[in-house]
Amino acid sequence: MRSTASIMHLDLDAFFAAVEQRDKPSLRGKPVCVGGIGARGVVATASYEARRFGARSAMPTAEARRRCPSGTAFLYPRGDAYRASSRIVMSLLREVSPVVEQVSVDEAYVDLAAAGGIDLSPDGVRAVAQRLIAEIASATGGLTASAGIATSKMLAKIGSDLDKPAGLVVVPPGQELQVLAPLSVRVVSGIGPATEARLRSFGVETVADLQRMERADLVSIFGAAHGGSLYQLARAQDDREVVVEREAKSVSAEETFEHDVVDREVLDAQLVSLARRTAARLGKSAAFARTVTIKVRQHDFATSTRSETLLHPTGDAGVILDVARRLLAAVDVSNGLRLLGVGVSGLSTHAQEQLRFDTPHEEDEAVRPAWDGTADTEGLDIPATPAGDVRRTPGPAAYSGEGPPAWWPGQDVEHAEHGAGWVWGSGLGRVTVRFEGPTTAPGRVRTFRSDDPQLRTAEPPQW
């Protein structure tokens, strides 16, 4: 832990959804979920409007659909658009300091002490962050960021989460314990659902509760490494430095069980959760993976891994889960597992697989932005409906064929006559497009046949 608050953690707010709302003016102020849009898809990012209805990252898309109202847009990720904005932001961070540790496409740590010439007083670093956040908004067409600045990486990251969106929290030296005390133990690095549940059984729910536990007690419960780490982090003792690292080569999630598990149904339920979490983390990195790996630790602490490499990269939770299930089926669990993990590697920035879409009911489209009742449905008889009454619109359905769809919700397209827009939905041999962009007013909707020679895919729009 440093003597100055000189580590900054910057996080772009609801990044994927914010980029979609920037580029699609008809979605501004409305709930948006980005991620896998099929029956087994996972939400990568939910806009703040969608979060008010309970949608969140790593939630199954099917659950998000049930929670969110009609008019909610469910969009497949546009990795190129997110990476373009990310490159601008990371470039701005490197203008502040040469030591930037990029954690994912939308967050990074910055070592302000390595910059030289920066006033490292609380007021001085606050001024630096305020200027940076304003520059990010200006350079990215209005995207907002939140930042935390503290004496350690853990406190900086916690600070960036305390006042979202567009927040800035500086934790001055000496106030770390005061800031930590009232927060949930989940803010402490290394505390996941299993550790949280175990701590709760001892009456520990806040960091203040955790701070009252002795090191010996935590070690006896969680072991020397994990217990000792919890003891130190609860007291803000985090000496990790900001380092310039290469991009992550793998993404994973794992769970340690309180008791050895032999029941395959219980293990399968854990696989479902782990696959969703892994897919969500993969989505947050705007990446796809070719290799799926499971990690198992037996009752006697023997640890092993099994892997399978796919023909094409995937970011789909359902694909990851299918492979993980096959791998676990070959593992002897008769004596119980202490730990189960799912990971992916062989990362790339593009997927070549078919996109997975659910087969909807008649009233449940893959994408449901509010239908304004004035859509131009060029050449097709699709009756207009009252504003927001999309569920009864017999219009574009989700793709439900076997081959890869030519058009997917959120995709950037261009029409020779009508210009640039994005795919509202597709299916049944037709594609519906809303013609608008980041610098236009909300645009009109037109429907075309899916093989219209004047319609083609396009690069992300400029803002």
Active centre residues (catalytic): 107
Nearest-CA neighbor of 250 among 310, 290, 277?
A: 290
Helix axes 215-222, 193-200, angle to 10 degrees: 120
Which residue from 354, 348, 349 is spatially nearest to 408, judged by alpha carbons?
354
Token pair of 266 as six digits: 């219980």
Question: Is the four-CA dihedral 361, 283, 144, 458 of positive or negative sign?
Answer: negative
Q: E-assigned strands of 283-354?
A: 288-298, 303-314, 337-348
For residue 353, give the nearest of 399, 317, 403, 401 by alpha carbon: 403
CA nearest neighbour of 275 among 312, 227, 236, 314: 314
Structure tokens at 449: 């046949």
Place of tokens 């030296």: 173
From residue 283, give the alpha-carbon distance in Å to each of 250, 251, 277, 325: 12, 10, 10, 21
User: Cβ contacts of residue 176 below 8 Å, gap of 6+?
Assistant: 1, 150, 151, 152, 155, 236
Q: Which helix (H) or strand (E) holds 274?
A: helix 264-284
In angstroms, the CA 284 to CA 86 distance is 12
Cα–Cα distance between 228 and 219 in angstroms, integer?
A: 6
Containing H/E element for 131? helix 122-139
Omega of the bond leading into 165 within 30 degrees of 0 (cis): yes
**Extended beta strands in 192-249, E state:** none
Q: What is the dihedral of CA 78, 79, 83, 85, to 10 degrees?
A: 10
Helix (H) or strand (E) holding 264: helix 264-284
